[in-house]
Structure 1
């Protein structure tokens, strides 16, 4: 979930098709192997199968040669560093140690020819691997991790213009909100048709973040309303009214001797870091100043920790940067299926602009402060680029929008 989003952002920042391919292949793996028929995302896949760690995923040079033939195998093995000695218990985990250009030069072929050989090889190895016994799978659906995955699919749908990813994201949101929420409270885990256990802070924060991403990618107001609803319940359940910050457990949990707070970002970001990001993003989208005040309280609370251990607060620093940078407020007005609307949105999503919010409407709509008095210019899909609700002149072409986004 986190890697796919990282590769999406790398693709935006560089335009390198390699990052796009890795993002898509990662998300396609999740769809193929880790998605419940109702739309939830499973937790984990085992590393071992048939009693051996990594057996499903590793290769020898001989296996590659048998599948690809000597010519393609030599090139494939050079790029993915498949050797007789191996890098994992005598076999090889495919990994890249040299650039396409370097390997192409060594093989005396063009980069385009190399890419064709690699693509053909991956397809053949994948087909062969499908005949192996697959590792076991933990089919628990965890709300927090589903929130991370939801955000990735939502952003990917906009960045890569993949309508199928949007459908997957919306199906997940519908599933979690209908099956893992009871009387307004989220539940932590779902398996075999049963949801149970009170959710923790990270469940609320991560899923609200996913819903916020889904709203910005789709323009569907219902997802913003759900994000706000979940955030309000998160505040009610977890916010420390005396000292600020969010507790890890909610008021509806069993009573504990001490309610702790988790601030540090580890393998996954902390609930407080993502909650801060949700608050500043929703403040920009909705104009709710209370969200902004709460985020500032949280930033001040952890400022000392950030100063001493900045590398342990990557996500929190991202949220703080969003708050301090005066994010761009990008409003697109126009029918969603109109080619002009799609052209404007393409320019918004194709570039790396981390400190932004995106609002869409098909016509006159005043449901959000950012939409007030925002209409189409000359009956054409129109973009408004604003900061603190003060906008540059409205534009109707992608070229004009690009200039304003610089």
Structure 2
């Protein structure tokens, strides 16, 4: 039977369309064949930018002998986790329940009824790394299926029951303490790497949501937490995890020093980091943070934006069949491309030396090896001269790199990830006072809305002119959050209405009144063995945490306590878990902080066409106020939504007037931008 992936829209599935494996996409055809032939299912889950997915493909799925064994013994199914995160969440639990670490490629063996009985991740073609060969695993699993079926069925039933139990158990409701962010930050600090910044050792991920918790604790008065965030942000920006020529962050560092990354670039990582650096700029006013935000936006514009303004999903780690080849450099390449004085500065500044630092290739991952003043001293020149040589060197190397074969780009437009980037751009536009970032956000929101929202239902993925796959909780929540960010950055009322429509749809499709929790997939999904209700953050914020933020913000804007009551149920049910394991609940802790400390509500009473309000709006958007809600209130409007807090107070002397409300009580009228800035200072 043929490989059935060539007609699929997913770039990841298409990458496997040439394999001699008789792959099926997930669906009835594969399940029916497994049942008819009494064969177990081999389910392989990955994504297009996954380096080890490519490795396993080259070693096993492209190997005729291994493929023949797979075809003989199993019905083989490929899934793109970016399209079906609901399946990925469920079957990742199997690996964890077997005492192993999850990850991709995910390899799971199922009964024809979709029940899992054995799982792992990457398997090598020969025995190594303390793991059996993939062929050994295939034969052993099939031997057990043929000769110990009762044991297999019992294991599958037990694992499925454990998954159902793990995804339905609720925590006892508890009050959310007002110092929830500070408590969580103190626990996070025990895992902070004081030498290199960030958390843990190797591999080291940016952990943006945990750093956000620390930044919130800093806002609440803990300066040591702020110092830790500053150290992590500077270390990441200096390391090889940052692309020093083209901007943007790679996925993670393979070492504890942020030096050598896995080179894939993900839209969502860069969205989360853009927002974090924008908040850092609000906190400290450091020009380096603003530069980082703009450099990420530049990369997104250049590499990740389609013709109508929506954002692509990922860039691969590999090019020309080698990981990182597009990004690394050798000394002789710099000498050939640069003037001698430029090459001397560039080598010292970016650590390019004989032998390199990237595995055993002799090539170097560029990193901020030495500060410019140190470089200048070594070369006997001024710092200004060093900078004047480094910038043209950067431009020349970038231009030369652009002529290399580029890594593969996955051009799926995914609702949730677009939501994260749109929201980050809109928020950063206020932090930096940069209208260009806002226009990027507004254009992307309009395009994603037109493609994926039909006025009543949301799709998850746009690819090649087609909207596909019913959206999940995270898609509704992150796109609603983005619409709220655009509304606060621009005053666009239509964006607020869109956020409300998305949140209402999320409540309708995902809210389980009996369990008082949100499901990840729609309540009417039929091809799942369980419904996850995961509040735990993974590479992206959990759908539960994102919808909690959206509910609280929307409730404040509309003055509708129904949204806040649902959010309260979610937060109270998870506060115990969040304080026990803050590394996995950073985004939800942010929502808890908003709920417990209360929002800082800033209302600017001014007509839509009154430009005199701009200085007040600019101050409100630049202020370091993590739980800020910002609204422009027409002086002739009725007391609805946030305006109901004003209690009849309006403009002073006929001009734009600001009111800051905390704990649902509003302060005195403010008409000057400098006075508003003082009021909003921590």
TM-score by length of 1: 0.93
SS of residue matched to 1:95: coil
Q: Quick check: 1:219–1:361 contact (8 Å CA) kept in 2?
A: no
1:230 paired with 2:502, answer yes
Larger mean Cα displacement after TM superposition, 110-119 or 317-326? 110-119
Cα distance in 2, alignment partners of residues 67 and 367 from structure 1? 65
Cα distance in 2, alignment partners of residues 317 and 164 from structure 1? 31
Which residue in the other structure is 2:483 paired with? 211
User: For residues 276-355 of structure 1, what are the structure 2 equivalents within 5 Å?
Assistant: 276-334=548-606, 340-355=612-627
Which residue in the other structure is 2:680 paired with? 405
C-alpha spacing 1:377/1:272, structure 2 compared with 1 (3 Å) = same
TM-score by length of 2: 0.57
Q: Quick check: 1:150–1:172 contact (8 Å CA) kept in 2?
A: yes
Which residue in the other structure is 2:328 paired with? 58
Q: Quick check: 2:623–2:680 contact (8 Å CA) kept in 1?
A: no
Cα distance in 1, alignment partners of residues 307 and 283 from structure 2? 34
Listed one character per residue, the Cα deviations across residues 29-65 of structure 1 (whole Å, up to 9, x for unaligned) are 1111111112221111112222222122112222223
Cα distance in 1, alignment partners of residues 306 and 524 from structure 2? 28
Cα distance in 2, alignment partners of residues 96 and 81 from structure 1? 7
Q: Quick check: 1:364–1:375 contact (8 Å CA) kept in 2?
A: no
Larger mean Cα displacement after TM superposition, 381-390 or 25-34? 381-390
Q: Quick check: 2:412–2:462 contact (8 Å CA) kept in 1?
A: yes
1:376 paired with 2:648, answer no
* Structure 2: unaligned runs, 5 residues or longer: 1-270
C-alpha spacing 1:63/1:379, structure 2 compared with 1 (3 Å) = farther
User: For residues 2-401 of structure 1, what are the structure 2 equivalents within 5 Å?
Assistant: 2-88=272-358, 89-100=361-372, 102-104=374-376, 106=378, 111-182=383-454, 184-254=456-526, 256-334=528-606, 340-361=612-633, 363-366=635-638, 368-372=640-644, 373=648, 375-401=650-676
C-alpha spacing 1:115/1:329, structure 2 compared with 1 (3 Å) = farther
C-alpha spacing 1:374/1:155, structure 2 compared with 1 (3 Å) = farther
SS of residue matched to 1:182: coil
* Structure 1: unaligned runs, 5 residues or longer: none
SS of residue matched to 2:517: coil
C-alpha spacing 1:77/1:295, structure 2 compared with 1 (3 Å) = same
Displacement of 1:148 in angstroms is: 0.5
Question: If you compute each CA radius of gyration, which structure gives the higher value, 1 or 2?
Answer: 2
Cα distance in 2, alignment partners of residues 167 and 337 from structure 1? 19
C-alpha RMSD of matched pairs (Å): 2.2
Larger mean Cα displacement after TM superposition, 295-304 or 60-69? 60-69
Listed one character per residue, the Cα deviations across residues 70-123 of structure 1 (whole Å, up to 9, x for unaligned) are 223222222222222222132122222444555555555555554444333322
Q: Quick check: 1:370–1:389 contact (8 Å CA) kept in 2?
A: no
Q: Quick check: 1:333–1:374 contact (8 Å CA) kept in 2?
A: no
Displacement of 1:354 in angstroms is: 0.6
Q: Quick check: 2:652–2:671 contact (8 Å CA) kept in 1?
A: yes
